[in-house]
Amino acid sequence: MTGRLWLAAVAAFAAAVPAMSETAPKDVAFVEGAIEASLSGMPGNPEEGAKVMTTNALGNCVACHQVNGIPNVQFPGTIAPPLDGVADRWSEAQLRGIVANAKMTFEGSFMPAFYKTEGFIRPGAAYSGKAPEGDLPPILTAQQIEDVVAFLMTLKE
Amino acid sequence: MRATKSGLAATALGLALAGTALADPVEDTLVVETDDGAIEFVTTTTAPDHLKDVMDTIYSGWHYREDETRDLQRDDFDNPGMVFVDRGMDLWNQEIGAKGESCAGCHEGPESMKGLRAVTPRVDAGTGALMTVENYVNECVTERMGLEAWGMTSDKMKDMLALISMQSRGEVVNVAIDGAAAPFWEKGKEIYYTRFGQLEMSCANCHEDNQGQMIRADHLSQGQINGFPVYRLKDAGILSAQQRFVGCVRDTRAETFKPDSDEFKALELYVASRGNGLSVEGVSVRH
């Protein structure tokens, strides 16, 4: 095996086997809509979180929410409550629960569940319009959820 | 609802935002000057009875677009969709059938199609099948002209759809929802309210609950199809209603249905019925 192939094999292995402390979407325990522990077992990075929130193919939270805390977002949506001050209104565990699956906090919410892989009607492979091949991944990874939560925790008024 | 007090307060704030001028469909009147005089369109009217418990007023998607886009639809010389109507006219006259048949040979001028777009999809009395304009076209193409069926979203089909829709321009949409149409309509309604895909969103979530809101840069309309086919500036081409459905369902991270599937035909009937009372616009313009 050449050095590069060997590295690729290690990377593939690492991607296939989540870290020991990561919680898979179907194993998440909600308590009154909240999730106590970090889903990745690691702390989040708020800067990465802001990126996830403004990237169309990732969280795209700004499609519905305004966040004055993230400058330079063109055309934020008006569908959902502005997120400024959200850390005063909710605890970290509650925010983690809302981002992972908002329907556990707000019954029937329009907000998508970002860390959920089952129970959908005709799910597709991302935005391809086609059926997924193999297991459906959650929209955001455990670490991306943690990054978003870390950013939301900075939104104090 | 299990929201806490603070959550509810925040939601109320979100609703307050919805009350801004930005959220409303623009007040405006669509009049198109044509060689045969001016046509005034019904683009705002009272909701049909079957919608009374969810909304009072229905609006054409025209009201939600920017000034420049709305203006393009006021004048046939500015409306880029008219190119496709002209192409449809050429096709209408061409002797393309296996034995040299043309549409004109059987139907004379395209005016013979007046009214059709306003009442389709409809159940064909003879066969009991739900028929869109495209289905009628393909029936002639295959059975009377001896050709292979045209693709539902092929250029030929959409050019012909544009030409035929133009013949009903200004007529009020009035699709039947009772009698033989009822089971199709019920099925379409169920699809309209089903939360598809990984985003778990139904047509109603966007076009009924949130019409008037901004979803990122897009001003959400009621998702009416009285203006279809539409010319889309972004694609520099025309789009049928079911093509638009494909795009919307795909955007919910769902596996879409195909144009001409039983599901989308039923959905087209149901969505058309939500616009009963609005004018057929022929070929409208969207960004």
Domains and CATH numbers, chain A: 23-152 (1.10.760.10)
Interchain pair B197, A32: CB under 8 A: no
Catalytic annotation on B13?
A: no
The confidence band for B23, taking pLDDT boundaries of 50, 70 and 90, is low
Question: What DSSP line would sit under B5-22, residue for residue?
Answer: HHHHHHHHHHHHHHTSGG
User: How many C-beta neighbours within 10 Å does residue A74 have?
Assistant: 8
Q: Is a pLDDT exceeding 50 seen at residue B16?
A: no
pLDDT surpassing 50 at residue B18: no
Average pLDDT (A71-91) is 93
Q: What is the pLDDT of residue A72?
A: 83
Neighbouring CB atoms inside 10 A of B202's CB total 19
Mean pLDDT of A116-140: 96
Distance from CA of A22 to the nearest CA of B (A): 22
Q: Give pTM, 2 decimals.
A: 0.90
Q: In whole angstroms, what is the distance from residue B232 CA to residue B101 CA?
A: 32
User: In which residue are the tokens 């708020």 written?
Assistant: A46
Q: Which residue has the tokens 């603070």?
A: B6
| DSSP strand pairing (B230-232 vs B218-219) | unpaired
* Residue B20 with chain A: CB contacts under 8 Å: 78
The confidence score (pLDDT) of residue B139 equals 97
CB contact under 8 A, A81 and B14: yes
Which residues of chain B neighbour A105 with C-beta distances below 8 Å?
2-3, 7
The C-alpha atoms of residue B199 and residue A57 are separated, in whole angstroms, by 12
**pLDDT tens-digit map of A25-68:** 999 999 999 999 999 999 999 999 999 999 999 999 999 999 98
Q: Looking at residues B204-208, what average pLDDT do you find? A: 98
pLDDT digits (tens, 9 = 90+) for B155-188: 999 999 999 999 999 999 999 999 999 999 999 9
Tell me the chain A residues in contact with residue B261 when contact means C-beta distances shorter than 8 Å. none
A9 pLDDT band, cuts 50/70/90, is very low
Instruction: For residue A17, give the 3-state DSSP assignment.
Output: coil
| Residue A17, pLDDT score | 52
Name the active-site residue from B26, B176, B233, B248. Answer: B248
Output the six-digit token pair for B99. Answer: 């034995």
Please give the pLDDT value at position B35. 80
Cβ contact A123–B23 (<8 Å):
no
Ordered structural domains, chain B, with CATH: 31-80+176-285 (1.10.760.10), 81-167 (1.10.760.10)
The Cα A63–Cα A72 span in angstroms is 14
* Residue B37 pLDDT grade (very low, low, confident, very high; cuts 50, 70, 90): confident
Tokens of B158: 């959409």
- Taking only the tens place, the pLDDT of each residue in A83-118 is 999 999 999 999 999 999 999 999 999 999 999 999
A31 touches B at CB < 8 Å? no
Give the pLDDT mean for B63-68: 95
Residues B39-59 have pLDDT tens digits of 999 999 999 999 999 999 999
pLDDT at residue A15 tops 70: no
- Mean pLDDT computed over B74-80: 94
The structure tokens 């193409």 sit at B141
- Which of B15, B22, B207, B216 should one mutate to test binding to chain A, selecting the residue with the greatest count of A CBs within 10 A? B216
How sure is the predictor about A75, in pLDDT bands with cuts at 50, 70 and 90? Answer: confident
Q: According to the model, what pLDDT value does residue A76 have?
A: 87
Identity of residue A133: E
Q: What is the mean pLDDT of residues B102-114?
A: 97
> Does B22 score more than 80 pLDDT?
no
